Amino acid sequence: MAGQQSQSIQTLLEAEKEAAKVVQQARQYRVQKLKDARSEAAREIEEYKKSKEAEFKAFEASHAGNTQNAQAEVDRETEAKQKEIRAQYESNKDKVVKKLLDRVVLVKPELHRNLEKVAA
C-alpha cells in the first residue's frame, strides 16, 4: 500500500511539474506575442510617420512659391503705402506747424467754462 501511495504521489508530482512547464511555456508564448505586437506597432507607426512627413514636405514644396509671391506682394503694398504717407507728410507739414504755432502764440484769455457756471 505504501508503494502504491508513493507511486501515486510520484505521479502527482510529475503531473504537477508537467503542468508547471505548460504554464511557463504559455507565459513565455504570451510575453513573446506582446513583444512581437509592440515591435510591429512601432514599425507601423514609423512607416505612417514617414509617409506623413513625405506628404507634408510635398505640400510644403508645392506651396513654397505661393508664400514667396505673397511676401513680394506685401512688400510692394507696404512700399506704396509708405510713399503715400510720405507724400501726405510733405504736403501737410507746413499747415500743421502753422496751426501749432497759432495755438501757442495766439492765446485768447478767457475763464474756464466750469468757473462761469459756478459764478452764475
Q: Note the pLDDT of residue 117.
A: 64
Q: Note the pLDDT of residue 61.
A: 81
CA atoms within 13 A on the CB side of 39: 6
pLDDT above 60: residue 80 = yes
pTM for this predicted structure:
0.43
- Going by pLDDT thresholds of 50, 70 and 90, the confidence category of residue 55 is very high
Using one digit for the tens of pLDDT, what is the confidence trace for 10-51? 898 899 999 999 999 999 999 999 999 999 999 999 999 999
Residue bearing cell 513583444: 35
Q: Which residue has the higher pLDDT, 58 or 65?
A: 58
SS3 label, residue 119: helix
Name the strand (E) or helix (H) holding 105. Answer: helix 2-105
